[in-house]
């Protein structure tokens, strides 16, 4: 679990943007030979930094025209049931258990409003629900290493670049 150096961070940025790059291509872009790049990638995979690779699919291209964020406020007793329900509904693609008034923040992709209504109604069995339609989803950003420089000022001890 060594801290990642500059090259590791570059590799992560590359692979988060283009997950199918070959070791040789990654090497080319970060200034390393193919074996060296492949070795680093393997190290990142084995150490659990890279947990997998996913194809990204466009919801609209699948007819999933409605994207919503649903917040659910439930009781401790009902939480497990709500989670179980959420895990069984394919339209609920993301489940976050959070602190605060709401207990769960869910992301839902549905073909039409009617289906969203069904999902929301079903969720409402577990507690009060707040539904927001997503008007626009901005492109998700890659995760950057905590030691990487940020654009905003920081507090705490001086940052030292390794």
* Segment 49 to 78, residues that bind a copy of itself, using CB under 8 A: 49-59, 61-64, 69
**Can residue 130 be called a binding residue for a copy of itself (CB under 8 A)?**
yes
- Residue 54 contact partner, candidates a copy of itself, DNA, none, CB within 5 to 8 A by sort of partner: a copy of itself
Which residue among 46, 76, 155, 160 contacts a copy of itself (CB under 8 A)? 155
Convert residues 8-37 into a mask of x (bound to DNA by CB under 7 A) and - (unbound).
--------------xxxx-x---xxxxxx-
Q: Provide, rounded to whole angstroms, the least separation between the CB of residue 8 and a copy of itself.
A: 10
CA distance 36 to 67: 42
Residues 6+ apart with CB under 8 A from 13: 142, 144
Listed in sequence order, the residues at least 6 apart from 130 whose beta carbon sits closer than 8 Å to its beta carbon are 70, 71, 73, 102
157 is in the binding site of which of DNA, a copy of itself, none (Cβ under 5 to 8 A by kind)? none
For DNA, the closer CB: 32 or 82: 32
Phi, psi of 18 (to 5 degrees): -135, 95
Compute how many other C-beta atoms are within 10 angstroms of the C-beta atom of residue 45. 14
Interacting residue with a copy of itself among 2, 151, 158, 162 (CB under 8 A):
151
In order of 72, 125, 128, 152, the CA distances from 75 in angstroms are 10, 11, 10, 38
| 104 beta partners | 72, 97
φ, ψ of residue 160 in degrees (nearest 5): -120, 130
SS3 70: strand
Of residues 94 through 123, those in contact with a copy of itself by CB under 8 A are: 94-100, 102, 105, 109-112, 114-115, 118-119, 122
> To the nearest whole angstrom, how small is the minimum distance from the Cβ of residue 153 to a copy of itself?
7
In the region spanning residues 33 to 62, those forming contacts with DNA, defined by CB under 7 A, are 33-36, 38-40, 42
List interacting residues with DNA (CB under 7 A). 2, 7, 22-25, 27, 31-36, 38-40, 42
């Amino acid at each position: 679990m060594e801290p990642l150096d500059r090259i590791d961070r570059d590799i992560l940025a590359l692979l988060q943007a283009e997950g199918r790059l070959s070791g040789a291509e990654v090497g080319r872009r970060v200034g390393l030979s193919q074996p060296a790049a492949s070795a680093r990638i393997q190290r990142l995979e084995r150490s659990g930094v890279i947990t997998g690779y996913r194809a990204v699919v466009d919801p609209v291209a699948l007819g999933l025209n409605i994207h919503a964020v649903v917040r659910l406020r439930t009781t401790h007793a009902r939480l497990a049931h709500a989670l179980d329900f959420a895990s069984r509904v394919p339209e609920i693609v993301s489940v976050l258990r959070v602190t605060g008034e709401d207990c769960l923040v869910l992301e839902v992709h549905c073909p039409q409003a009617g289906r969203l209504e069904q999902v929301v109604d079903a969720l409402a069995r577990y507690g009060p629900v707040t539904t927001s339609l997503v008007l626009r989803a901005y492109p998700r950003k890659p995760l950057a290493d905590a030691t990487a420089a940020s654009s905003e000022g920081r507090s705490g001890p001086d940052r030292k670049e390794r």
